[in-house]
Amino acid sequence: MRADRLVAVLLLMQSRGRVTAAEIAAEMEISVATARRDLEALSAAGIPVYPQAGRGGGWALLGGARTDLSGLKASEARALFLLLGPAAAIAPEAKAALRKLVRALPATFRQEAEAAADAVVVDPARWGEHRRTRPVFVDLLEDAVVRRRKVRLTYSGRERVVAPYGLVDKDDTWYLIAGTPDGQRTFRVDRVDDVEVMEEPAARPARFDLAAAWDEVVIAMEARRATTTATATVEARYLPVLRDRFGRHCEVIPQGGQGGQGEPGERVRVALTAPTARDIARQLAGWGDLVVVEGPQSVRDELTKLAVQITTLYDRQNQ
């Protein structure tokens, strides 16, 4: 896990003072290129890691060697935890590493470092769309979450003051979970028109778990979106592709007590869900006979309609 490596790289540098990418690679059994990328990631995150050119050079921590993390400034500790926090949300071993880091920090830094580590959750499962642009207000909202400050949002033409609890990065689509006078709400960040971070403190519920809160949001969203379910079969080797396309909306139906992907050449039964039969048909139309829909008939009918539309369109164009 990359989070573990980044922590280990930092601790190695603090114990030795100066290291080369080759030394890190040998120590951690990774490639020199990977070691160099990890060093550059630490530097880009704001950790005082910098390269030294020339004979006897390498990479060093500003200020020389240290035996623990107590030499980090508050801003540097925060940068490190913002970098590693998302990984900890989906990797227990990374979360354990962050807990060790917290104990190594001075008491005055711990609260902000813990807030930074819990400021963002990464959910790799797709909604069925893919985005690559980081919304402009993510950094401001991240700052408000870490510093526990209220935010004045302009969202869907309405201005409101909220207490930001945390951010979720779901397949490059960002969401803000926040407290409002009407209770906990979820805001899609790319639909936010303006953000003003206020100096008024924002309270976060005791024992609030961002990952658990997001799971509840997802369950509610999925319940609204997935109102139609189709049963289909797909050759086992194509199952990972189908799962990537449908995300949470593709579940394997166990056969003979087995819930795996089956042997090569075998067909696996799956349950596919979407708001309407038409939505399922549209996503499967390009699969041809690789995916065979068993039912319901409404989905099969929509596939037939799409096939007729496509055939008619191109037959007409080829005349």
Domain of residue 55, CATH code: 1.10.10
Task: Choose the weakest-confidence range: 111-120, 225-234, 249-258, 277-286.
Answer: 111-120
Nearest to 69 by CA among 40, 38, 44, 98: 98
| pLDDT reported for residue 49 | 78
Check whether residue 153 and residue 62 sit in a common domain.
Answer: no
**pLDDT average, residue stretch 63-90:** 54
Distance CA 53, CA 87 (A): 31
CATH number at residue 313: 3.30.70
Check whether residue 217 and residue 281 sit in a common domain.
Answer: no
In the listed set 222, 241, 267, which residue is the last one of a domain according to the structure?
222
Is 0.95 surpassed by the pTM of this model? no
The rounded percent of the chain whose pLDDT value lies above 70 is 66
| pLDDT reported for residue 89 | 54
Check whether residue 24 and residue 104 sit in a common domain.
Answer: yes
Task: Choose the weakest-confidence range: 41-50, 63-72, 163-172, 201-210.
Answer: 63-72
As for how many domains the chain has, the answer is 3
What's the chain's Rg over C-alpha atoms? 25
DSSP strands (E only) in 202-284:
228-235, 250-252, 267-274
Check whether residue 12 and residue 67 sit in a common domain.
Answer: yes
Check whether residue 99 and residue 15 sit in a common domain.
Answer: yes
Range of the domain at 143: 122-222
Average pLDDT, the chain: 76
Check whether residue 204 and residue 96 sit in a common domain.
Answer: no
Check whether residue 14 and residue 83 sit in a common domain.
Answer: yes
10-24 b/e with 16+ CB inside 10 Å = b? bbebbeeeebbbebb
Instruction: Report pLDDT digits (tens) over 249-274.
Output: 888 888 764 445 555 568 889 998 88
In the listed set 187, 222, 257, which residue is the last one of a domain according to the structure?
222
Instruction: Report pLDDT digits (tens) over 127-136.
Output: 555 555 667 7
| pLDDT reported for residue 266 | 82
Using the predicted structure, report yes or no on whether residue 229 has a pLDDT greater than 80: yes
